[in-house]
Amino acid sequence: MPVLEARNVSKYYQMGAVTVRALDDVSLEVARGEFVAVMGPSGSGKSTLLHLLGGLDEPTSGSIVLAGSELSHQSDNQVTLTRRRKVGFIFQFYNLLPTLTAEENVALPLLIDGQHLAPHRQRIHGLLDMVGLADRGGHRPDQMSGGQQQRVAIARAFVNEPEIVLADEPTGNLDSRSGAAILQLLRRSSQEMQQTIVMVTHDPRAASYADRVIFLKDGQVVQSLPIVYRSGHGEDMARILAVMQQLEL
């Protein structure tokens, strides 16, 4: 069974008399250790898909398999536990707690899970170091730049050593150099740690780090493109851009 799967998933929002089809019969399988990029225009359903895959929200119809088990067969408590222990989220708008320091924000998933921090301190430091914020552990979000806050959110997503990382525009606010470092990190975590990554991005260069790119349009998967991964990513980027043009994305 795939680690992550959407089977004929639709998500509709009722807005008065209008039904918004955020996702329309989407099916997708992601294998363990696979790195998938999701691209598509604003409003095409990318964040909705990520939230449903991570059990943060329920589909209107269809089913989701998360960490190898179907969510509709689980109680809310079981879904919450699966999410806490097996999934790392990087949200589009970071979702850092404003009153906590960078270090505390990174530790938050462990605190919520009722774990003691002492045995994890070194790893928390290691994660902050990994995203280039070793000297910012004591800073609150309002004392950091947008890109720094984004990197705290990335470190937080890895703190529970998740099987699955769901990342919504993780490099959206980063310069090309820190963006490249984060993309290498995601790629390494899938290749070396067999972590499964789904990353939403608007950037063809970012998408070229993945194993496969899924294109969404109007809530539907319209194309799936395997990435060859050559050094420099030039060829892969060109192929991604060609698909975007062809699909008018």
Task: Pick the closest to residue 166 from 142, 189, 133, 136 (CA basis).
Answer: 189
What Å distances lie between residue 247 and 79, 217, 224, 235, 241, CA to CA?
Answer: 36, 9, 12, 18, 10
Binding segment toward Mg ion, per CB under 5 A, in 86-94, 125-133, 138-146, 147-155: 86-94
Read off the DSSP letter of residue 85: H
Out of 30, 38, 39, 47, the only residue in the binding site for Mg ion (CB under 5 A) is 47
Rank residues 51 and 86 by Cβ distance to Mg ion and give the closer one. Answer: 51
Question: Taking CB under 5 A as the rule, does residue 201 contact Mg ion?
Answer: no
Least separation in angstroms between CB 197 and ligand ATP: 17
Residue 20, binding choice from Mg ion, ligand ATP, none, Cβ under 5 to 8 Å by partner class:
ligand ATP
Q: Provide the minimum distance between the beta carbon of 202 and Mg ion in the complex, in angstroms, as a whole number.
A: 10
DSSP states of 190-241: HHHS--EEEEE-S-HHHHTTSSEEEEEETTEEEEEEE----TTSHHHHHHHH
Q: Kindly tell me which of 50 and 165 has the beta carbon lying closer to ligand ATP.
A: 50
| List of residues contacting ligand ATP (CB under 6 A) | 13, 15, 20, 22, 40, 42-48, 92
Stretch that binds Mg ion, among 52-60, 90-98, 130-138, 173-181 (CB under 5 A): 90-98
Q: Which of Mg ion, ligand ATP, none does residue 44 bind (CB under 5 to 8 Å by kind)?
A: ligand ATP
Q: Give Rg (Cα) of the chain.
A: 18
Q: How far is the CB of 150 from ligand ATP (least distance, A)?
A: 15
Q: Which residues contact 191 (CB under 8 A, 6 or more apart)?
A: 33, 35
How far is Cα 50 from Cα 40, in angstroms, rounded to an integer? Answer: 13
Instruction: Pick the stretch among 89-97, 98-106, 138-146, 151-159 that binds Mg ion (CB under 5 A).
Output: 89-97
Q: Which is nearer to Mg ion, 92 or 223 (CB)?
A: 92
d(CA 44, CA 222): 11
For ligand ATP, which is the closer residue by CB, 48 or 171? Answer: 48
CB of 74 to Mg ion, least distance (A): 26
* Of residues 50 and 133, the one with the C-beta less far from Mg ion: 50
The 10 Å CB-count burial string (b at 16+, else e) for 86-118 is bbbbbbbebebeeebbbbbbbbbbbeeeeeeee
| Residue count (the chain) | 249
Nearer to ligand ATP, 45 or 109 (CB): 45
Q: Which listed option, Mg ion, ligand ATP, none, makes contact with residue 48 (CB within 5 to 8 Å by class)?
A: ligand ATP
Q: What is the largest CA-CA distance in the chain?
A: 53
Element (H, E) at 168: strand 164-168
Please give the residue ranges that form the binding site for Mg ion (CB under 5 A). 47, 92
